[in-house]
Structure 1
Amino acid sequence: MAIFKLFAPAMNKTKLLSCEELLDIFSTSHIATAIYTTDDLVIEAATQAMLSFWGRSRDIVGLPLEVAVPELKGQPFAQQMKSALATGITFSAKGVAAQLMHNGKLNTFYYDYEYRPVKNADGDIICLLHHATDVTERVLGEMALANEEQQRQILERELALNEELSAANEELAAINEELHQTQTELNTLNDELEERIQVVP
């Protein structure tokens, strides 16, 4: 009880943070997160981690997403976000490919992500909260393993086919040997018949 009394006065000195201070704190998060408003998906805030995913600087805050990151046009993300905003239903996906510009080159990355509509006390949707995790290494690793497994199965099929062909070749060789012996026997019989025909007056 004495410990609580000791720290209680310090807790009372906590001040409420301003909206700007909260956004500044939010932007330092190591988790890739962005906040959007309106049907145009205006970027209200983005953490440095999210900006790094996009390969953009903080000056895109305040712009619609597809203006700030134009390579996203034609990809499914904006439509998924708009759907989440319209329905109020959280949308999430795992291991989805995204084409993003990095160092002047369009590259494919893979993400787990969630679009969560945020409601006010009246139940109205006020913004969309977007979390993302870069899972490119995981997905490429899974693809490599799947490819390796596929190659293993192909190799096993080829080995099985080679064994079947080898067995078939052995059978053909045996049949050829039998045919050769039969041909030799027929030639011998033919020669004997010709000799008998010549002996007969």
Structure 2
Amino acid sequence: MINNKISDYVNRAQLAINDWQCSGEIYYLEQAKAELAEAVLLADELAKKKPTFLQYSAETQGRFTSSFLYDTSEEALEGIRPDLNVGDLVIVYQQEESQWQPYIDMDDLIEKFISQADDEAGEAAEAWCDFISGNALAQARKELDEQLNDVLEAWLRKHKIDAGWYDRAGVEGTYRFCGDKFIRVGKAGDDAALVSKVP
């Protein structure tokens, strides 16, 4: 899963690289480097934030998806068993609690400010719009971005507002339902591994 804010930093770095390719100004490379450094710091911070707690879900290929999360892959297979036909392939997915949280995108916010100024004053606001979005305030905008998002994060924490959903973290395995048991299928030598039996 890619955090939206990390993605935003990476997108801004890509835009700065594009600007450098057009202008050749080193400032844009420095800006891209700073954006990528922020993305790396945030990714490290999120990785340390809380341990991954995996759950499992199962689905047949294109026909039926279990709407439940289970503590083990075996429980996920047993949960989907009543809906299976002999020979069905079942994929068991690892699920992890989403780390997503809303954030304030400064680029969007500045665009809204520019739109408000234009609505208010039209051409008379042009110099103000150029200044607030220009290179001279790049560092100040970054500072405001951090401060506003720190306030938002503290507010979310105070009110215990979490995403509350699970994201797919990977595939645990693929199994063929043989009527009384599940057989793991995959690379050669794996296909005879018995996973569960009806008691």
Normalised-by-shorter TM-score class: under 0.3
Normalization by structure 1: what TM-score? 0.24
Normalization by structure 2: what TM-score? 0.24
Which has a greater percent of strand?
Answer: 1
| Rg (Cα) greater in structure | 1
